[in-house]
Structure 1
Amino acid sequence: MTGRVLRAFLLPAVLGLGALSLASASADPARTQVRQAAPVPEPAAAQAGLQFGFYVGDEQQPTTSRVAKLGSDITFPQGRFDGKILGFSDTSPITGKLSIPVTSSYFVSFRFMPATGTVELIPDGDATGVVDVDTGATGDCKEVGTAICAHTDVTNKVFIKLSNVKVDGKVLDVGPNCRTARSVVVNIKALVPLALPASPVKVTSTFDTPAFAGCGVREDLSPLLTGLVSGPGNTLVTNLRLRCVGDGPPPNGCGA
Protein backbone atom coordinates (compact mmCIF):
# COMPACT_ATOMS: atom_id res chain seq x y z
CA MET A 1 0.00 0.00 0.00
CA THR A 2 1.18 3.54 -0.54
CA GLY A 3 2.16 6.12 1.98
CA ARG A 4 -1.10 7.90 1.11
CA VAL A 5 -3.14 4.87 2.08
CA LEU A 6 -1.16 4.31 5.25
CA ARG A 7 -1.68 7.90 6.34
CA ALA A 8 -5.41 7.54 5.73
CA PHE A 9 -5.57 4.56 8.05
CA LEU A 10 -3.24 5.92 10.73
CA LEU A 11 -4.50 9.52 10.96
CA PRO A 12 -7.38 8.77 13.37
CA ALA A 13 -5.08 6.68 15.53
CA VAL A 14 -2.43 9.41 15.62
CA LEU A 15 -5.03 12.01 16.62
CA GLY A 16 -6.29 9.73 19.36
CA LEU A 17 -2.80 9.15 20.70
CA GLY A 18 -2.21 12.91 20.64
CA ALA A 19 -5.31 13.53 22.74
CA LEU A 20 -4.20 10.83 25.18
CA SER A 21 -0.76 12.41 25.50
CA LEU A 22 -2.24 15.84 26.23
CA ALA A 23 -4.48 14.38 28.91
CA SER A 24 -1.51 12.60 30.50
CA ALA A 25 0.56 15.78 30.40
CA SER A 26 -2.14 17.67 32.28
CA ALA A 27 -2.23 14.99 34.98
CA ASP A 28 1.55 14.59 35.30
CA PRO A 29 3.71 17.30 33.59
CA ALA A 30 6.94 15.56 34.59
CA ARG A 31 6.14 12.62 32.30
CA THR A 32 5.40 14.74 29.22
CA GLN A 33 8.91 14.67 27.70
CA VAL A 34 9.24 10.91 28.13
CA ARG A 35 5.97 10.28 26.30
CA GLN A 36 6.88 12.66 23.49
CA ALA A 37 10.32 11.14 22.99
CA ALA A 38 9.11 7.53 22.87
CA PRO A 39 9.38 6.16 19.30
CA VAL A 40 6.22 5.08 17.55
CA PRO A 41 6.49 1.36 16.75
CA GLU A 42 6.15 0.30 13.13
CA PRO A 43 2.76 -1.26 12.43
CA ALA A 44 2.73 -5.05 12.56
CA ALA A 45 1.46 -5.21 8.98
CA ALA A 46 4.46 -3.22 7.77
CA GLN A 47 6.82 -5.61 9.53
CA ALA A 48 5.11 -8.71 8.16
CA GLY A 49 4.60 -7.42 4.63
CA LEU A 50 1.79 -7.95 2.17
CA GLN A 51 1.90 -11.44 0.70
CA PHE A 52 0.94 -12.09 -2.92
CA GLY A 53 1.34 -14.82 -5.49
CA PHE A 54 1.20 -15.05 -9.29
CA TYR A 55 1.07 -17.90 -11.75
CA VAL A 56 3.85 -17.44 -14.29
CA GLY A 57 2.54 -18.45 -17.69
CA ASP A 58 -0.89 -19.72 -18.68
CA GLU A 59 -2.77 -21.23 -21.63
CA GLN A 60 -2.97 -17.89 -23.42
CA GLN A 61 0.72 -17.07 -23.05
CA PRO A 62 3.05 -19.77 -21.68
CA THR A 63 6.47 -18.70 -20.44
CA THR A 64 8.51 -18.65 -23.64
CA SER A 65 12.17 -17.78 -24.08
CA ARG A 66 13.54 -16.87 -27.49
CA VAL A 67 17.19 -17.88 -28.01
CA ALA A 68 18.45 -15.20 -30.35
CA LYS A 69 21.45 -17.07 -31.75
CA LEU A 70 19.42 -20.17 -32.60
CA GLY A 71 16.25 -18.38 -33.62
CA SER A 72 14.34 -20.94 -31.54
CA ASP A 73 11.83 -20.80 -28.68
CA ILE A 74 11.91 -22.69 -25.40
CA THR A 75 8.52 -23.07 -23.71
CA PHE A 76 8.26 -23.79 -19.98
CA PRO A 77 5.41 -25.30 -17.95
CA GLN A 78 3.44 -22.98 -15.68
CA GLY A 79 5.46 -21.66 -12.76
CA ARG A 80 4.86 -19.47 -9.71
CA PHE A 81 6.13 -16.28 -8.16
CA ASP A 82 5.48 -15.85 -4.42
CA GLY A 83 6.48 -12.58 -2.83
CA LYS A 84 5.99 -9.87 -0.22
CA ILE A 85 5.73 -6.10 -0.36
CA LEU A 86 7.69 -4.76 2.62
CA GLY A 87 6.64 -1.47 4.16
CA PHE A 88 4.14 1.22 3.20
CA SER A 89 6.12 3.86 1.31
CA ASP A 90 5.41 4.97 -2.25
CA THR A 91 8.46 2.99 -3.33
CA SER A 92 8.50 -0.12 -1.16
CA PRO A 93 10.96 -3.02 -1.28
CA ILE A 94 9.71 -6.27 -2.73
CA THR A 95 11.15 -9.75 -2.38
CA GLY A 96 10.04 -13.08 -3.77
CA LYS A 97 10.83 -16.53 -5.07
CA LEU A 98 10.50 -17.61 -8.70
CA SER A 99 9.85 -21.28 -9.43
CA ILE A 100 9.57 -22.60 -13.01
CA PRO A 101 9.57 -26.35 -13.79
CA VAL A 102 12.19 -27.90 -16.05
CA THR A 103 11.37 -28.35 -19.71
CA SER A 104 12.57 -30.20 -22.80
CA SER A 105 13.71 -28.12 -25.74
CA TYR A 106 14.17 -28.71 -29.44
CA PHE A 107 16.14 -26.52 -31.79
CA VAL A 108 18.26 -26.70 -34.92
CA SER A 109 21.96 -26.03 -34.53
CA PHE A 110 24.22 -24.93 -37.39
CA ARG A 111 20.96 -24.39 -39.35
CA PHE A 112 20.59 -28.08 -40.19
CA MET A 113 21.38 -30.28 -37.17
CA PRO A 114 18.49 -31.05 -34.76
CA ALA A 115 19.30 -30.91 -31.07
CA THR A 116 17.31 -31.66 -27.93
CA GLY A 117 17.94 -31.18 -24.24
CA THR A 118 16.54 -30.49 -20.80
CA VAL A 119 16.61 -26.87 -19.65
CA GLU A 120 16.40 -25.91 -15.98
CA LEU A 121 16.24 -22.43 -14.46
CA ILE A 122 17.95 -22.42 -11.05
CA PRO A 123 17.30 -19.32 -8.89
CA ASP A 124 20.35 -17.38 -7.75
CA GLY A 125 18.90 -16.06 -4.49
CA ASP A 126 15.57 -14.30 -4.05
CA ALA A 127 14.10 -11.87 -6.53
CA THR A 128 14.35 -8.25 -5.37
CA GLY A 129 13.08 -4.87 -6.45
CA VAL A 130 10.68 -2.06 -5.67
CA VAL A 131 6.94 -1.57 -6.03
CA ASP A 132 4.59 1.42 -6.03
CA VAL A 133 1.07 0.46 -4.98
CA ASP A 134 -1.91 2.52 -6.18
CA THR A 135 -5.57 2.38 -5.20
CA GLY A 136 -8.81 3.46 -6.82
CA ALA A 137 -10.86 2.23 -9.73
CA THR A 138 -9.58 5.06 -11.94
CA GLY A 139 -6.11 6.11 -13.01
CA ASP A 140 -3.45 3.43 -13.41
CA CYS A 141 -5.52 0.68 -11.78
CA LYS A 142 -8.18 1.13 -14.45
CA GLU A 143 -5.72 -0.41 -16.92
CA VAL A 144 -5.76 -3.75 -15.08
CA GLY A 145 -9.42 -3.57 -14.00
CA THR A 146 -8.94 -3.68 -10.22
CA ALA A 147 -9.16 -1.21 -7.34
CA ILE A 148 -5.62 -2.03 -6.16
CA CYS A 149 -2.61 -2.34 -8.47
CA ALA A 150 1.15 -1.95 -8.41
CA HIS A 151 3.94 -0.73 -10.64
CA THR A 152 6.67 -3.33 -10.16
CA ASP A 153 10.36 -3.31 -11.01
CA VAL A 154 11.70 -6.73 -10.07
CA THR A 155 15.00 -8.43 -10.89
CA ASN A 156 15.23 -12.22 -11.06
CA LYS A 157 18.58 -13.99 -11.31
CA VAL A 158 18.72 -17.58 -12.58
CA PHE A 159 21.33 -20.00 -13.80
CA ILE A 160 20.50 -21.89 -17.01
CA LYS A 161 21.39 -25.56 -16.61
CA LEU A 162 21.52 -28.02 -19.52
CA SER A 163 21.30 -31.81 -19.38
CA ASN A 164 20.26 -34.81 -21.51
CA VAL A 165 21.63 -33.08 -24.59
CA LYS A 166 21.46 -34.89 -27.93
CA VAL A 167 22.71 -33.58 -31.27
CA ASP A 168 21.44 -35.29 -34.40
CA GLY A 169 20.18 -38.10 -32.18
CA LYS A 170 23.56 -38.74 -30.54
CA VAL A 171 24.23 -38.11 -26.86
CA LEU A 172 26.37 -35.08 -26.11
CA ASP A 173 27.68 -35.89 -22.64
CA VAL A 174 27.62 -32.48 -20.97
CA GLY A 175 27.81 -33.95 -17.47
CA PRO A 176 25.86 -33.03 -14.32
CA ASN A 177 27.17 -29.47 -13.85
CA CYS A 178 26.66 -27.80 -17.20
CA ARG A 179 25.23 -24.33 -16.65
CA THR A 180 25.91 -20.65 -17.25
CA ALA A 181 29.02 -19.43 -15.46
CA ARG A 182 27.05 -16.45 -14.15
CA SER A 183 23.37 -16.07 -13.47
CA VAL A 184 21.09 -14.60 -16.10
CA VAL A 185 19.58 -11.27 -15.01
CA VAL A 186 15.92 -10.91 -16.00
CA ASN A 187 14.28 -7.60 -15.12
CA ILE A 188 10.49 -7.46 -15.15
CA LYS A 189 8.68 -4.11 -15.16
CA ALA A 190 4.90 -4.30 -15.21
CA LEU A 191 1.66 -2.85 -13.88
CA VAL A 192 -0.02 -5.75 -12.11
CA PRO A 193 -3.32 -6.19 -10.24
CA LEU A 194 -3.37 -6.81 -6.47
CA ALA A 195 -7.04 -7.72 -6.11
CA LEU A 196 -9.18 -10.56 -7.39
CA PRO A 197 -10.72 -11.26 -9.82
CA ALA A 198 -8.07 -10.05 -12.25
CA SER A 199 -7.05 -10.62 -15.85
CA PRO A 200 -3.52 -11.80 -16.71
CA VAL A 201 -0.83 -9.27 -17.57
CA LYS A 202 1.56 -9.97 -20.43
CA VAL A 203 5.18 -9.05 -19.78
CA THR A 204 8.25 -9.12 -22.03
CA SER A 205 11.89 -8.91 -20.93
CA THR A 206 15.19 -8.90 -22.81
CA PHE A 207 18.32 -10.49 -21.35
CA ASP A 208 21.87 -11.60 -22.09
CA THR A 209 22.88 -15.25 -21.75
CA PRO A 210 26.37 -15.59 -20.21
CA ALA A 211 28.99 -18.13 -21.24
CA PHE A 212 28.62 -21.74 -20.11
CA ALA A 213 30.96 -23.56 -17.74
CA GLY A 214 31.38 -27.07 -16.34
CA CYS A 215 30.06 -28.74 -19.50
CA GLY A 216 31.54 -32.02 -20.68
CA VAL A 217 32.89 -35.22 -19.18
CA ARG A 218 35.42 -36.49 -21.70
CA GLU A 219 36.11 -33.07 -23.19
CA ASP A 220 35.32 -29.45 -22.45
CA LEU A 221 32.07 -28.67 -24.27
CA SER A 222 31.56 -25.28 -22.65
CA PRO A 223 33.02 -23.30 -25.60
CA LEU A 224 30.73 -25.18 -28.02
CA LEU A 225 27.57 -24.41 -26.04
CA THR A 226 28.69 -20.84 -25.45
CA GLY A 227 29.11 -20.36 -29.17
CA LEU A 228 25.69 -21.86 -29.89
CA VAL A 229 23.59 -20.23 -27.18
CA SER A 230 25.28 -17.38 -25.31
CA GLY A 231 24.86 -13.75 -26.26
CA PRO A 232 22.55 -10.72 -26.08
CA GLY A 233 19.05 -10.11 -27.42
CA ASN A 234 17.23 -13.06 -25.88
CA THR A 235 13.62 -12.50 -24.81
CA LEU A 236 11.27 -13.88 -22.19
CA VAL A 237 7.51 -13.51 -22.68
CA THR A 238 4.90 -14.67 -20.19
CA ASN A 239 1.53 -13.94 -18.61
CA LEU A 240 1.39 -13.06 -14.91
CA ARG A 241 -1.93 -14.22 -13.49
CA LEU A 242 -2.74 -13.19 -9.91
CA ARG A 243 -3.28 -16.24 -7.69
CA CYS A 244 -3.65 -14.87 -4.14
CA VAL A 245 -3.28 -11.73 -2.00
CA GLY A 246 -2.86 -11.39 1.78
CA ASP A 247 -2.17 -13.95 4.48
CA GLY A 248 -5.71 -15.36 4.61
CA PRO A 249 -6.52 -18.98 3.75
CA PRO A 250 -6.59 -20.25 0.14
CA PRO A 251 -7.86 -20.04 -2.49
CA ASN A 252 -7.69 -16.22 -2.54
CA GLY A 253 -5.34 -15.78 0.43
CA CYS A 254 -1.68 -16.80 0.34
CA GLY A 255 -1.66 -18.23 3.89
CA ALA A 256 -1.32 -21.91 4.77
Structure 2
Amino acid sequence: MLTRFSLPLVLVLVAFSLGAAEAAPNEDAPQPQAATQIPFGFTLGDAQQPTTSHVAKLGSDIAFPPGTFDGALGGLTNTVPITGKLTIPPTDGYFVAFRFMGTTGRVEIVPDGDATGTATVKTGKDTNCKTTQTNICADTDVTAKVFIKLSNVKVDGKALDVGPDCRTAQPASVNIKALVPISLPAPPVKVTSTFTTPAFAGCTGREDLSRLLTGLVSGPGNTFVSNLTLRCFSSGCKQA
Protein backbone atom coordinates (compact mmCIF):
# COMPACT_ATOMS: atom_id res chain seq x y z
CA MET A 1 0.00 0.00 0.00
CA LEU A 2 1.27 3.44 -0.94
CA THR A 3 1.83 5.82 1.88
CA ARG A 4 0.61 9.35 1.73
CA PHE A 5 4.22 10.44 1.11
CA SER A 6 4.98 8.01 -1.72
CA LEU A 7 1.76 8.61 -3.70
CA PRO A 8 2.73 12.14 -4.87
CA LEU A 9 6.16 10.83 -5.85
CA VAL A 10 4.61 8.10 -8.00
CA LEU A 11 2.34 10.60 -9.72
CA VAL A 12 5.31 12.84 -10.52
CA LEU A 13 7.27 9.91 -11.98
CA VAL A 14 4.30 8.83 -14.12
CA ALA A 15 3.83 12.36 -15.46
CA PHE A 16 7.52 12.66 -16.23
CA SER A 17 7.59 9.36 -18.11
CA LEU A 18 4.54 10.33 -20.19
CA GLY A 19 6.08 13.68 -21.07
CA ALA A 20 9.33 12.00 -22.10
CA ALA A 21 7.43 9.59 -24.33
CA GLU A 22 5.65 12.47 -26.06
CA ALA A 23 8.89 14.37 -26.56
CA ALA A 24 10.79 11.41 -27.98
CA PRO A 25 11.12 11.64 -31.79
CA ASN A 26 9.26 9.13 -33.88
CA GLU A 27 11.84 7.76 -36.27
CA ASP A 28 9.13 6.22 -38.45
CA ALA A 29 7.23 9.50 -38.87
CA PRO A 30 7.92 11.45 -42.09
CA GLN A 31 10.40 14.26 -41.55
CA PRO A 32 9.86 17.78 -43.00
CA GLN A 33 11.67 18.32 -46.27
CA ALA A 34 13.95 21.28 -46.94
CA ALA A 35 12.48 23.93 -49.20
CA THR A 36 13.50 23.72 -52.84
CA GLN A 37 16.22 26.23 -53.68
CA ILE A 38 16.95 26.80 -57.34
CA PRO A 39 20.02 29.01 -57.88
CA PHE A 40 20.19 31.71 -60.53
CA GLY A 41 22.53 34.47 -61.63
CA PHE A 42 21.90 37.73 -63.50
CA THR A 43 24.33 40.30 -64.87
CA LEU A 44 23.36 43.95 -64.37
CA GLY A 45 24.28 46.22 -67.25
CA ASP A 46 27.16 46.00 -69.69
CA ALA A 47 29.72 48.27 -71.32
CA GLN A 48 27.24 49.46 -73.96
CA GLN A 49 24.26 49.97 -71.62
CA PRO A 50 25.54 50.38 -68.06
CA THR A 51 23.43 50.45 -64.94
CA THR A 52 22.60 54.08 -64.21
CA SER A 53 21.15 56.03 -61.31
CA HIS A 54 19.67 59.48 -61.83
CA VAL A 55 20.13 61.92 -58.93
CA ALA A 56 17.01 64.07 -59.11
CA LYS A 57 18.24 67.04 -57.07
CA LEU A 58 21.47 67.37 -59.05
CA GLY A 59 19.99 66.42 -62.42
CA SER A 60 22.93 64.07 -62.99
CA ASP A 61 23.33 60.43 -63.97
CA ILE A 62 25.77 58.00 -62.39
CA ALA A 63 26.96 55.10 -64.57
CA PHE A 64 28.13 51.93 -62.79
CA PRO A 65 30.30 49.07 -64.06
CA PRO A 66 28.51 45.76 -64.70
CA GLY A 67 27.22 44.14 -61.50
CA THR A 68 25.57 40.88 -60.50
CA PHE A 69 22.47 39.59 -58.77
CA ASP A 70 22.87 36.00 -57.56
CA GLY A 71 20.32 34.14 -55.49
CA ALA A 72 17.73 31.39 -55.39
CA LEU A 73 14.08 30.75 -56.22
CA GLY A 74 12.00 28.76 -53.78
CA GLY A 75 10.66 26.47 -56.50
CA LEU A 76 9.09 26.57 -59.95
CA THR A 77 5.38 26.53 -59.12
CA ASN A 78 2.97 29.30 -58.16
CA THR A 79 4.35 32.25 -56.18
CA VAL A 80 7.59 31.43 -54.39
CA PRO A 81 10.12 33.39 -52.30
CA ILE A 82 13.20 34.82 -53.96
CA THR A 83 16.41 36.00 -52.31
CA GLY A 84 19.64 37.28 -53.75
CA LYS A 85 22.85 39.19 -53.25
CA LEU A 86 23.22 42.43 -55.17
CA THR A 87 26.76 43.42 -56.11
CA ILE A 88 27.47 46.70 -57.93
CA PRO A 89 31.08 47.94 -58.19
CA PRO A 90 31.77 51.53 -57.04
CA THR A 91 32.19 54.27 -59.60
CA ASP A 92 33.24 57.90 -59.94
CA GLY A 93 30.46 60.39 -60.59
CA TYR A 94 30.40 63.97 -61.83
CA PHE A 95 27.81 66.49 -60.59
CA VAL A 96 27.17 70.20 -60.78
CA ALA A 97 26.41 71.51 -57.29
CA PHE A 98 24.46 74.75 -56.88
CA ARG A 99 24.24 74.82 -60.71
CA PHE A 100 27.78 76.09 -61.15
CA MET A 101 30.23 74.07 -59.01
CA GLY A 102 31.74 71.04 -60.72
CA THR A 103 31.87 68.20 -58.19
CA THR A 104 33.27 64.69 -58.41
CA GLY A 105 33.05 61.82 -55.96
CA ARG A 106 33.31 58.11 -55.49
CA VAL A 107 29.86 56.48 -55.18
CA GLU A 108 29.51 53.07 -53.58
CA ILE A 109 26.38 50.93 -53.21
CA VAL A 110 26.52 48.95 -49.96
CA PRO A 111 23.79 46.27 -49.58
CA ASP A 112 21.99 46.04 -46.25
CA GLY A 113 21.51 42.28 -46.23
CA ASP A 114 20.02 40.19 -49.02
CA ALA A 115 17.43 41.42 -51.48
CA THR A 116 14.11 39.64 -50.88
CA GLY A 117 10.74 39.29 -52.54
CA THR A 118 8.54 36.92 -54.49
CA ALA A 119 8.44 35.41 -57.96
CA THR A 120 5.46 33.98 -59.82
CA VAL A 121 6.52 31.44 -62.43
CA LYS A 122 4.69 31.78 -65.76
CA THR A 123 4.84 30.34 -69.25
CA GLY A 124 4.07 31.67 -72.71
CA LYS A 125 0.60 30.12 -72.52
CA ASP A 126 -0.65 32.53 -69.84
CA THR A 127 1.47 35.63 -70.37
CA ASN A 128 3.56 37.50 -72.93
CA CYS A 129 6.62 35.58 -71.77
CA LYS A 130 7.97 34.71 -75.20
CA THR A 131 11.59 35.61 -74.76
CA THR A 132 13.23 32.19 -74.48
CA GLN A 133 13.15 28.86 -76.25
CA THR A 134 11.05 27.36 -73.45
CA ASN A 135 8.99 30.49 -72.72
CA ILE A 136 9.43 30.22 -68.95
CA CYS A 137 9.59 33.49 -66.99
CA ALA A 138 9.30 34.73 -63.44
CA ASP A 139 7.14 37.73 -62.60
CA THR A 140 9.36 39.14 -59.86
CA ASP A 141 8.83 41.71 -57.13
CA VAL A 142 12.10 42.22 -55.27
CA THR A 143 13.27 44.89 -52.84
CA ALA A 144 16.93 45.64 -52.21
CA LYS A 145 17.95 47.87 -49.30
CA VAL A 146 21.25 49.66 -49.88
CA PHE A 147 23.34 52.34 -48.25
CA ILE A 148 24.82 55.00 -50.55
CA LYS A 149 28.39 55.83 -49.57
CA LEU A 150 30.43 58.82 -50.75
CA SER A 151 34.20 59.30 -50.71
CA ASN A 152 36.99 61.13 -52.53
CA VAL A 153 34.76 64.18 -53.01
CA LYS A 154 36.24 67.16 -54.85
CA VAL A 155 34.72 70.56 -55.56
CA ASP A 156 36.30 72.49 -58.44
CA GLY A 157 39.22 70.08 -58.18
CA LYS A 158 39.80 70.73 -54.47
CA ALA A 159 39.34 67.89 -51.98
CA LEU A 160 36.32 68.09 -49.70
CA ASP A 161 37.04 66.02 -46.59
CA VAL A 162 33.95 63.91 -45.88
CA GLY A 163 35.74 61.30 -43.78
CA PRO A 164 35.80 57.50 -44.26
CA ASP A 165 32.23 56.78 -43.13
CA CYS A 166 30.08 59.17 -45.16
CA ARG A 167 26.90 57.38 -46.20
CA THR A 168 23.12 57.54 -45.90
CA ALA A 169 21.96 57.19 -42.32
CA GLN A 170 19.32 54.67 -43.41
CA PRO A 171 19.32 52.31 -46.39
CA ALA A 172 17.49 53.33 -49.53
CA SER A 173 14.75 50.90 -50.55
CA VAL A 174 14.92 50.00 -54.25
CA ASN A 175 11.96 47.97 -55.46
CA ILE A 176 12.30 46.15 -58.78
CA LYS A 177 9.37 44.58 -60.59
CA ALA A 178 10.04 42.74 -63.83
CA LEU A 179 9.08 39.76 -65.95
CA VAL A 180 12.43 38.01 -66.36
CA PRO A 181 13.29 34.85 -68.32
CA ILE A 182 14.55 31.90 -66.30
CA SER A 183 15.77 29.67 -69.11
CA LEU A 184 18.69 30.06 -71.48
CA PRO A 185 19.40 31.60 -73.91
CA ALA A 186 17.69 34.79 -72.79
CA PRO A 187 17.77 38.43 -73.97
CA PRO A 188 18.31 41.30 -71.52
CA VAL A 189 15.31 42.80 -69.74
CA LYS A 190 15.23 46.51 -68.88
CA VAL A 191 14.17 47.33 -65.33
CA THR A 192 13.46 50.73 -63.81
CA SER A 193 12.85 51.69 -60.20
CA THR A 194 12.19 55.01 -58.46
CA PHE A 195 13.51 55.49 -54.94
CA THR A 196 14.15 58.06 -52.21
CA THR A 197 17.69 58.81 -51.05
CA PRO A 198 17.76 59.16 -47.23
CA ALA A 199 19.70 61.81 -45.32
CA PHE A 200 23.46 61.44 -44.96
CA ALA A 201 25.37 60.91 -41.73
CA GLY A 202 28.97 60.40 -40.63
CA CYS A 203 30.36 62.78 -43.27
CA THR A 204 32.85 64.20 -40.84
CA GLY A 205 36.37 65.22 -41.81
CA ARG A 206 37.53 68.63 -40.70
CA GLU A 207 33.88 69.43 -40.08
CA ASP A 208 30.53 67.64 -40.32
CA LEU A 209 29.25 67.97 -43.89
CA SER A 210 26.31 65.59 -43.50
CA ARG A 211 23.67 68.33 -43.66
CA LEU A 212 25.30 69.87 -46.72
CA LEU A 213 25.27 66.57 -48.63
CA THR A 214 21.74 65.84 -47.47
CA GLY A 215 20.60 69.16 -48.92
CA LEU A 216 22.41 68.51 -52.19
CA VAL A 217 21.54 64.86 -52.78
CA SER A 218 18.83 63.43 -50.52
CA GLY A 219 15.18 63.32 -51.52
CA PRO A 220 12.62 61.47 -53.68
CA GLY A 221 12.40 60.96 -57.43
CA ASN A 222 15.74 59.21 -58.04
CA THR A 223 15.79 56.37 -60.56
CA PHE A 224 17.66 53.10 -60.98
CA VAL A 225 17.81 51.68 -64.51
CA SER A 226 19.53 48.46 -65.57
CA ASN A 227 19.47 45.64 -68.09
CA LEU A 228 19.16 42.22 -66.44
CA THR A 229 20.69 39.40 -68.44
CA LEU A 230 20.30 35.81 -67.23
CA ARG A 231 23.77 34.36 -66.77
CA CYS A 232 22.95 30.96 -65.30
CA PHE A 233 20.04 28.99 -63.89
CA SER A 234 19.68 25.84 -61.81
CA SER A 235 22.50 23.32 -62.36
CA GLY A 236 24.40 25.78 -64.53
CA CYS A 237 25.17 28.03 -61.53
CA LYS A 238 28.23 27.44 -59.39
CA GLN A 239 27.34 27.02 -55.75
CA ALA A 240 29.00 29.44 -53.32
TM-score normalised according to structure 2 size: 0.83
Kindly indicate whether the alpha-carbon contact (under 8 Å) linking 1:144 and 1:192 is maintained by their aligned counterparts in 2.
Answer: no
How many residues matched? 212
Which of 103, 106, 126 does residue 94 from structure 2 map onto? 106
1:254 aligns with 2:237: yes
Q: Report the AA paired with residue 243 of structure 1.
A: R
CA-CA distance at 1:57 after TM superposition: 0.8
1:150 aligns with 2:138: yes
Q: Report the AA paired with residue 255 of structure 1.
A: K
Kindly indicate whether the alpha-carbon contact (under 8 Å) linking 1:104 and 1:116 is maintained by their aligned counterparts in 2.
Answer: yes
1:244 aligns with 2:227: no
Q: What is aligned with 1:224? A: 212
Which of 198, 205, 209 does residue 197 from structure 2 map onto? 209
Q: Report the AA paired with residue 235 of structure 1.
A: T
Q: What is aligned with 2:119? A: 131
Q: Report the AA paired with residue 175 of structure 2.
A: N
Counterparts of 1:138 and 1:60 in 2: how far apart (Å)? 33
Moved more, 133-142 or 210-219: 133-142
Counterparts of 1:139 and 1:132 in 2: how far apart (Å)? 11
- Would the alpha carbon gap of residues 211 and 144 (structure 1) be closer, same or farther in structure 2, given more than 3 Å must change? farther
Counterparts of 2:98 and 2:132 in 1: how far apart (Å)? 43
CA-CA distance at 1:140 after TM superposition: 3.0
Counterparts of 1:140 and 1:40 in 2: how far apart (Å)? 40
Counterparts of 1:242 and 1:184 in 2: how far apart (Å)? 25
- Would the alpha carbon gap of residues 209 and 163 (structure 1) be closer, same or farther in structure 2, given more than 3 Å must change? same
1:182 aligns with 2:170: yes
Q: What is aligned with 2:73? A: 85
Which of 163, 183, 192 does residue 151 from structure 2 map onto? 163
Q: How does 1:27-66 map to 2 (within 5 A)?
A: 39=30, 41-42=32-33, 47-66=35-54
Which of the pair has more CA radius of gyration? 2
- Would the alpha carbon gap of residues 38 and 136 (structure 1) be closer, same or farther in structure 2, given more than 3 Å must change? farther
Q: What is aligned with 2:10? A: none
Which of 67, 71, 82 does residue 94 from structure 1 map onto? 82
CA-CA distance at 1:179 after TM superposition: 0.1
What secondary structure does 1:139 align onto?
A: coil
Kindly indicate whether the alpha-carbon contact (under 8 Å) linking 2:189 and 2:227 is maintained by their aligned counterparts in 1.
Answer: yes
- Would the alpha carbon gap of residues 146 and 207 (structure 1) be closer, same or farther in structure 2, given more than 3 Å must change? farther
Q: Report the AA paired with residue 228 of structure 1.
A: L
TM-score normalised according to structure 1 size: 0.78
CA-CA distance at 1:147 after TM superposition: 2.0
Q: What is aligned with 1:9? A: none
Identity %: 68
Kindly indicate whether the alpha-carbon contact (under 8 Å) linking 2:190 and 2:225 is maintained by their aligned counterparts in 1.
Answer: yes
Counterparts of 2:61 and 2:70 in 1: how far apart (Å)? 26
Higher helix share: 1
Counterparts of 2:72 and 2:128 in 1: how far apart (Å)? 21
Q: Report the AA paired with residue 49 of structure 1.
A: Q
- Would the alpha carbon gap of residues 112 and 140 (structure 1) be closer, same or farther in structure 2, given more than 3 Å must change? same
What secondary structure does 2:183 align onto?
A: coil
**For structure 2, which runs of at least 5 residues remain unmatched after alignment?**
1-27
CA-CA distance at 1:255 after TM superposition: 2.0
1:172 aligns with 2:129: no
Counterparts of 1:234 and 1:70 in 2: how far apart (Å)? 10
Which of 195, 206, 209 does residue 183 from structure 2 map onto? 195
**For structure 1, which runs of at least 5 residues remain unmatched after alignment?**
1-36
What secondary structure does 1:227 align onto?
A: helix
